[in-house]
């Protein structure tokens, strides 16, 4: 396998969006309060009786083709992982984009906005290479942290970010108002650069 990671511009977002961003949910991290929350929150992995497929690409109003209409992408980094001329993975890093709330108004913070690997190409190290390229890109811009959002239903992503050196910085159990995902908890991971 000869994977090449290329930095691309926003003009490649159509091709970027063609890479599926779905995964199988076999287990979730249940958020449990310790002493009514005074003792903190505990994540406990629970296997589901009825697994399902989650597809972020099917979320209405979301996706790479809609980013340009919502955000100033001038300071964002876009990466495609190619196997020959075929894209098999992608990552986006948001930086210095005041309208992106995830950046908290900070100029020393970058957000891994999106990362995806084609389902048939997972577990080949492509995600790790994309993540490492995103980290290098943020360091090149003198960022002190990289922030990543995921959900408690994406156990694989949580384990991946932990394996990359990220630390869980926040759990927001009531972050999502959309009824389709209202039961999910937002997990925010941070990597000190």
pLDDT tens string 115-174 = 999 999 999 999 999 999 999 999 999 999 999 999 999 999 999 999 999 999 999 999
Average pLDDT over residues 22-42: 94
Average pLDDT over residues 12-17: 94
What is the value of pTM for the model shown? 0.93
Contacts of 177 (CB under 8 A, 6+ apart): none
How confident is residue 26, by pLDDT bands cut at 50, 70 and 90? very high
Query: Is 30 or 69 the better-scoring residue by pLDDT?
Result: 30
For the cut 80, the answer to whether the pLDDT of residue 42 exceeds it is yes
Task: Tell me what pLDDT residue 63 has.
Answer: 84
Runs of H (alpha helix) within the chain: 13-17, 64-70, 126-140, 155-163
CA distances from 60 to 41, 56, 64, 157 (A): 31, 9, 12, 22
pLDDT tens string 43-96 = 999 999 999 999 887 665 578 988 988 899 999 999 999 999 999 999 999 999
Query: How do beta strands 109-117 and 145-151 pair?
Result: parallel
Q: Classify domain 3-192 by CATH architecture.
A: 3-Layer(aba) Sandwich (3.40)
Task: Tell me what pLDDT residue 188 has.
Answer: 98
Element (H, E) at 23: strand 22-33
Task: Tell me what pLDDT residue 68 has.
Answer: 87
In the sheet with 3-8, reading across from the earlier edge strand, the strands are 3-8, 77-83, 86-95, 109-117, 145-151, 186-192, 167-172
Query: How do beta strands 22-33 and 77-83 pair?
Result: unpaired
- What's the half-sphere exposure (Cβ side, CA atoms, 13 Å) at 63? 19
């Amino acid at each position: 396998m000869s994977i090449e990671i290329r930095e691309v511009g926003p003009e490649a977002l159509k091709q970027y969006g063609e890479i599926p961003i779905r995964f199988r949910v076999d287990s979730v991290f249940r958020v449990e309060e310790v002493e009514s929350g005074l003792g903190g929150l505990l994540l406990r992995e629970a296997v589901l009786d009825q697994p399902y497929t989650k597809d972020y690409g099917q979320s209405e109003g979301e996706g790479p083709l809609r980013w340009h209409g919502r955000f100033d992408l001038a300071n964002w980094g876009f990466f495609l992982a190619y196997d020959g001329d075929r894209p098999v993975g992608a990552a986006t890093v948001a930086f210095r984009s005041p309208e992106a709330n995830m950046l908290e108004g900070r100029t020393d913070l970058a957000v891994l906005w999106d990362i995806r690997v084609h389902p048939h190409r997972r577990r080949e190290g492509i995600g790790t290479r994309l993540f490492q390229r995103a980290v290098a890109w943020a360091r090149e811009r003198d960022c002190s942290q990289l922030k990543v959002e995921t959900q408690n239903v994406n156990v694989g992503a949580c384990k991946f970010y932990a394996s990359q050196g990220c630390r869980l910085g926040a759990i927001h159990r009531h972050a999502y108002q959309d009824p389709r995902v209202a039961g999910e908890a937002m997990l925010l991971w941070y990597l000190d650069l």
